[in-house]
Amino acid sequence: MTQKRKYFGTDGIRGTVGTPPITPDFVLKLGWAVGRVLKNEHHKNKVLIGKDTRISGYMFESALESGLSAAGVDIALLGPMPTPAIAYLTRTFHAVAGIVISASHNPFQDNGIKFFSGNGTKLPDEIELAIEAEMEKTIKTVAPEQLGKAERVDDAAGRYIEFCKSTIPHNINLKGLKIVVDCAHGATYHIAPSVFQELGADVETIGAQPNGLNINAGYGATQPQALQTAVLYQKADLCIALDGDGDRVLMVDAKGEIIDGDELLFIIAQSRHKAGTLQGTVVGTVMSNLGLEQALEKEGIAFTRAAVGDRYVIEKLQENGGILGGESSGHIICLDRTTTGDGIITALQVLTVSIQMGLPLHVLKTGMQKFPQRMINVPIRPGVEIMSQPTVQNAVRDAEQELNNKGRVLLRPSGTEPLIRVMVEGVELQQIETVAHHLAEIVKKEANK
């Protein structure tokens, strides 16, 4: 059984800025602890640091830089960069690790620290535990001549843009396509438009004026309503909505209909399968729509579910020899292209399928029919235990009986916020709405006791 971690969650360490552990003093010590552990474990002695566009990123970048330097580790500062870009650059720089300062799709008041190994993958549990153990010690600075040096990498964006373009066949271009790209005022603002423009598309950009306070506010993959309006107003062929750190994507077709992560995963999987390049099992999560599972089964494609979180999807892919997995939220992992979820690269894979088949997105997605699904987020106080309450467990059983084996009920704590996610899926929309609201009310009452 994996040892319980004190600070690390499913995707690094995340919380509200100024509230422990997301404070400058903690992050400084975290940088030192990371430097100590990685310096002991490896011969390579450089760590990359990138961030999204939150105003607090400046503060935490400095804190990490100081801690790493005190541990005797060199630092390469990338500035604002998408999370998957840092995974890629960590590999190409042969760095010992990459650090991302980001709270992904959360509002600007939050921030977090997450890590990539030298291979561009998430840190193993044993390394995270070793870092936490080091955090319990008193900081000791190395001798002055051993302090780490810091440098800024000026061409990081250009390197990553070229990598993104290299993930599609050289004979594919986007000429003739009008695309609206929504950068969520986040880390892709200076990268995503260039990728699609350089491949020949006519690009209209929204959500690309970050000011430190507006990341994910009214734009991006978590709030694609702006894109639904933009695609019709601009008379575009499609829209691409990225989140604040660029690791997830949703798309909107020419009719203004949202194409979520399950549908994107289906489109890519079906194409890879027909081309004979799909390997192993396609991996979704417990939140993936039942329609995805049934559509893949119809195509003869094996499918399995992992816990929510990209690290668990990747673990399951590795167990099953798979290359393709993802989440309904638009976090899609193409291990035959890169090592982690990447919104830009995912969009490029889908556009490649569209061009090769000569079909628009609203036709490509018709091979999968989604079941109606309703998810309600119920806020709880941190530390409150809900899932084991008999009242809640009985309510879940009652809900499952009401669906009569023609749907699914799932309650799970969020890995990034103090929420219980109540999800109900079934055949009839009105029924699942009623069941979901009833179940959410019971959870809410228990949470308030």
Q: For 252-307, write each residue's pLDDT tens digit.
A: 999 999 999 999 999 999 999 999 999 999 999 999 999 999 999 999 999 999 99
Tally of CA atoms within 13 A in the half-sphere of 294 that contains its CB: 10
Pairing, β 303-306 against β 258-259: unpaired
Q: For CA atoms 35, 36, 37, 38, give the dihedral sign.
A: positive
User: Cα torsion for 181, 185, 191, 194, to the nearest 10°?
Assistant: 40
Q: For 59-110, write each residue's pLDDT tens digit.
A: 999 999 999 999 999 999 999 999 999 999 999 999 999 999 999 999 999 9
Residue of 214, 225, 229, 228 whose CA lies nearest to 184? 214
Over residues 385-400, the mean pLDDT reads: 90
Do 424 and 435 contact (CB within 8 A), yes or no? yes
Instruction: State residue 423's pLDDT score.
Output: 93
Fill in the DSSP letter of residue 308.
Answer: S
Most confident by average pLDDT, 196-200, 310-314, 425-429: 196-200
Strand partners, 333: 325
Fill in the DSSP letter of residue 255.
Answer: T
In the structure, what pLDDT confidence band is assigned to residue 2 with cuts at 50, 70 and 90? low
How much is the pTM? 0.92
CA-angle at 415, arms to 15 and 113, nearest 5°:
40
In the structure, what pLDDT confidence band is assigned to residue 3 with cuts at 50, 70 and 90? low
Fill in the DSSP letter of residue 176.
Answer: T
Kindly tell me if the per-residue pLDDT of 244 is higher than 70. yes
Over residues 363-367, the mean pLDDT reads: 94
**Exposure pattern of 343-368 as b/e (b: 16+ CB <10 Å)?**
bbbbbbbbbbbbbeeeeebeebbeeb
Tally of CA atoms within 13 A in the half-sphere of 360 that contains its CB: 15
Over residues 165-185, the mean pLDDT reads: 96
Helix (H), strand (E) at residue 13 = strand 13-16
Do 278 and 249 contact (CB within 8 A), yes or no? no
In the structure, what pLDDT confidence band is assigned to residue 376 with cuts at 50, 70 and 90? very high
Instruction: State residue 43's pLDDT score.
Output: 60
Domains and CATH numbers, the chain: 13-155 (3.40.120.10), 177-258 (3.40.120.10), 260-367 (3.40.120.10), 373-448 (3.30.310.50)
Quote the mean pLDDT of the chain: 94
In the structure, what pLDDT confidence band is assigned to residue 1 with cuts at 50, 70 and 90? very low
Instruction: State residue 4's pLDDT score.
Output: 73
Instruction: State residue 224's pLDDT score.
Output: 84
Q: 104, 288, 328, 354: which is the annotated catalytic residue?
A: 104
Q: For CA atoms 91, 95, 96, 101, give the dihedral sign.
A: negative
Instruction: State residue 226's pLDDT score.
Output: 78
Instruction: State residue 82's pLDDT score.
Output: 98
Instruction: State residue 40's pLDDT score.
Output: 66
Percent of the chain beyond pLDDT 70?
98
Instruction: State residue 418's pLDDT score.
Output: 83
Write the single-letter amino acid at 236: A
The reply to whether 104 belongs to the active site is yes
Instruction: State residue 233's pLDDT score.
Output: 87
Q: For 317-332, write each residue's pLDDT tens digit.
A: 999 999 999 999 999 9
Q: For 133-155, write each residue's pLDDT tens digit.
A: 999 999 999 999 999 999 999 99
In the structure, what pLDDT confidence band is assigned to residue 309 with cuts at 50, 70 and 90? confident
Q: For 29-52, write each residue's pLDDT tens digit.
A: 999 999 999 986 656 589 999 999
C-alpha span between 266 and 277 (Å, rounded) = 14
Kindly tell me if the per-residue pLDDT of 6 is higher than 50. yes
Write the single-letter amino acid at 233: Y
Kindly tell me if the per-residue pLDDT of 383 is higher than 90. no
Q: Is pLDDT larger for residue 435 or for residue 41?
A: 435
Write the single-letter amino acid at 303: F
C-alpha R_g of the chain: 22
